[in-house]
């Protein structure tokens, strides 16, 4: 038993050092063991000066890498491949091959393969063009209201756009990003960006101030044969006229005019200050709030007579309003 104890404690410090070295050696050997891993890498392509990429066959590639485990662990999480296109001056379809030189990896790591390795791109000339701006209005304003489209204002209302010649050549204007108007009943102003010309092709970084004018949704409606009333101030007078009703056109909020009836309109002629004679007088129109007369004020011919001269009782009206 004593011999066994001596076996463990004899040269104890030397044994501890040996164990420590053995552990370090194990980690070193384990770290130097080569492995293969496959990673998804983003493809960054730089077009030639004065040109732009319209389409590409892919945005990402699969990269197979081999190397010691401890070196592979140093790979960035967002692995990227860079390729610069050179020596091309004309628009068209082109292809190129990716290689290990297009990707940066830690020393000791080897690029085994890149799939797909052949990339196809469509190139076009990069041009600039001044274009007017239009707002992209989305949604519907509150019920009974409308957008006054002719009064919409944009500041600025034109911008210098840069993009592919194929896209810009026939483009007449550029849109803003969406301006939401759902439920609005008052005018408002928004600051918005411009909509991209196409996927991956921003039109401009300029910010546009869009002013949206909103007002009540006014409509017009004609009312025919609205009965006339006549106001007299004395029982000593009476009148004669061939006009018993008028046709008028009103304007106002859609929902109010749709509910309005002919009986809601009071049309009268004021004879209270007149002496006997012939007159051409305006018709007074009393309307509900928010409703107004759109057509011209009707004029009618009236003859006021003294009752002592004319004994007929026809069409005699009291000082109150009567039809």
Neighbours of 49 (CB within 10 A): 8
How many angstroms separate the CA atoms of 243 and 301, rounded?
Answer: 8
pLDDT tens by residue, 53-101 = 999 999 999 999 999 888 888 888 899 999 999 989 899 999 999 999 9
Cβ within 8 Å of residue 79, ≥6 positions away? 39, 40, 41, 42, 63, 103
What's the pLDDT score for residue 323? 47
pLDDT tens by residue, 294-311 = 999 889 999 888 877 655
What is the widest separation between alpha-carbon atoms in the chain?
Answer: 159
Average pLDDT over residues 175-198: 92
Encoded tokens for 29:
């050997």
Q: Could you tell me which of 244, 233, 234, 167 has the C-alpha nearest to residue 203?
A: 167
What domains lie within the chain, and their CATH numbers?
31-125 (2.170.120.30), 127-216 (2.170.120.40), 218-306 (2.170.120.30)
183: left (phi over 0), alpha (psi -120 to 50) or beta: left
User: Does the pLDDT at position 35 exceed 70?
Assistant: yes
- Is there a contact between 161 and 204 (Cβ–Cβ < 8 Å)? yes
How many angstroms separate the CA atoms of 267 and 281, rounded?
Answer: 12
Encoded tokens for 47:
């077009």
Between these two residues, 315 and 247, which has the higher pLDDT value?
247
Average pLDDT over residues 271-284: 89
What's the pLDDT score for residue 69? 85
Cα 303–chain centre separation: 63
Buried b / exposed e along 178-205 (16+ C-beta atoms within 10 A) = ebebeebeeeeebebebbebeeebebbe
The rounded radius of gyration (Å) of the Cα atoms in the chain is: 45
How many angstroms separate the CA atoms of 280 and 7, rounded?
Answer: 138
Q: Count CA atoms closer than 13 A to 201's CA, side-chain side.
A: 22
| Cα 285 to Cα 76, 262, 267, distances in angstroms | 82, 12, 5
How many angstroms separate the CA atoms of 278 and 240, rounded?
Answer: 9
What's the pLDDT score for residue 139? 95
147: left (phi over 0), alpha (psi -120 to 50) or beta: beta
Tell me which range, 125-129, 184-188, 238-242, 274-278, is most confidently predicted by mean pLDDT.
184-188
Between these two residues, 39 and 316, which has the higher pLDDT value?
39
* pLDDT band for position 318 (cuts 50, 70, 90): very low
What's the pLDDT score for residue 149? 93
Encoded tokens for 7:
């076996």
How many angstroms separate the CA atoms of 274 and 279, rounded?
Answer: 9
As a whole number, the mean pLDDT across the chain is 85
Cβ within 8 Å of residue 171, ≥6 positions away? 129, 131, 161, 197
The owner of tokens 């204007």 is 173
Average pLDDT over residues 139-146: 90
| Cα 233 to Cα 70, 181, 278, distances in angstroms | 111, 55, 17
290: left (phi over 0), alpha (psi -120 to 50) or beta: left
pLDDT tens by residue, 194-221 = 988 766 566 677 899 999 999 988 889 9
Between these two residues, 289 and 182, which has the higher pLDDT value?
182
User: Does the pLDDT at position 224 exceed 80?
Assistant: yes
The 3-state secondary structure of 124-156, one letter per residue: EEEEEEEEEEEEEEECCCCCCEEECHHHCEEEC
Encoded tokens for 142:
């509150």
């Amino acid at each position: 038993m004593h011999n066994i104890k001596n076996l463990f404690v004899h040269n104890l410090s030397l044994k501890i050092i040996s164990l420590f070295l053995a552990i370090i050696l194990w980690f070193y050997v384990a770290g130097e063991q080569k492995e293969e891993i496959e990673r998804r890498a983003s493809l960054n392509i730089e077009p030639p000066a004065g040109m732009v990429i319209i389409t590409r066959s892919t945005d990402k590639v699969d990269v197979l890498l081999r190397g010691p485990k401890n070196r592979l662990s140093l790979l960035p999480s967002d692995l990227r491949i860079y390729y610069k296109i050179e020596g091309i001056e004309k628009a068209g379809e082109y292809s190129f091959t990716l290689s290990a030189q297009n990707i940066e990896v830690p020393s000791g790591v080897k690029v085994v393969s890149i799939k797909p390795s052949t990339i196809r791109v469509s190139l076009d000339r990069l041009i600039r063009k001044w274009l007017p701006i239009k707002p992209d209005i989305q949604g519907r304003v509150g019920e009974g209201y409308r957008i006054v489209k002719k009064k919409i204002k944009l500041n600025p209302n034109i911008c210098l756009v840069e993009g592919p010649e194929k896209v810009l050549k026939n483009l007449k204007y550029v849109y803003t990003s969406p301006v939401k108007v759902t439920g609005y009943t008052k005018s408002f102003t928004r600051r918005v960006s411009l909509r991209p010309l196409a996927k991956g092709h921003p039109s401009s970084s300029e910010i546009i101030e869009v002013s949206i004018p909103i007002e009540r949704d006014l409509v017009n409606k004609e009312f025919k044969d609205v009965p006339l009333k006549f106001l007299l101030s004395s029982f000593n007078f009476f009148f004669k006229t061939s006009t018993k009703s008028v046709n008028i056109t009103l304007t106002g909020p859609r929902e109010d005019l749709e509910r309005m009836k002919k009986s809601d309109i009071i049309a009268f002629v004021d004879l209270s200050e007149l002496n006997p004679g012939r007159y051409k007088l305006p018709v007074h129109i009393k309307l509900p709030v928010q409703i107004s007369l759109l057509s011209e004020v009707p004029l009618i011919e009236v003859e006021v007579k003294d009752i002592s001269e004319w004994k007929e009782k026809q069409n005699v009206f009291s000082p109150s309003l009567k039809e």
